[in-house]
């Protein structure tokens, strides 16, 4: 991977959370990983064992599709060797998001989110 310069005038990010990556420049490997569990109940109640991630959602392997073979050969010529960016304004990046100005050989990003909603029978929300 040929080295390239990454030039950013300004970058304004309000928040970067839950396994997110902000990378200015080239890298060989990037990995961003997040497990999240969201439990919604109409009553404040915590059983104490929800946060152990003992759910199949977090254990099952994610199938990775095979690469096409043979891989296509890509030849490129960069007239300007540097990547130049003006202004970047982001409110938030979350859950294994990657923001990169540069080149990466290998990226692996995974976010697993399980939403559980436990609503009592006959419950009417304030919106209904």
Q: Please state whether the predicted TM-score (pTM) of the whole model is above 0.75.
A: no
pLDDT at residue 1 tops 70: no
Residues 11-62 pLDDT 10s:
999 998 888 889 998 888 988 888 888 888 887 777 776 667 778 888 899 8
Classify each residue of 13-42 as buried b or exposed e, where b means 16 or more C-beta atoms within 10 Å of its C-beta: eeeeebbbbeebebbeebebebbbbeeeee
DSSP 3-state of 48: coil
pLDDT at residue 128 tops 60: no
């Amino acid at each position: 991977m040929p080295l390239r310069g990454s030039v950013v005038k300004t970058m304004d990010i309000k928040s970067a959370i839950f396994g997110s990556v902000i990378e200015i420049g080239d890298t060989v490997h990037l990995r961003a990983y997040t497990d999240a569990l969201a439990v919604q109940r109409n009553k404040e109640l915590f059983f104490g064992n929800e946060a152990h991630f003992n759910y199949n959602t977090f254990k099952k392997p994610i199938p990775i599709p095979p690469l096409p073979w043979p891989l296509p050969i890509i030849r490129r010529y960069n007239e300007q060797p540097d990547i130049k960016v003006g202004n970047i304004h982001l409110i938030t990046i979350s859950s294994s998001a990657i923001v990169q100005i540069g080149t990466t050989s290998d990226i692996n990003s995974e976010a697993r989110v399980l939403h559980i909603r436990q609503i009592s029978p006959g419950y009417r929300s304030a919106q209904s």
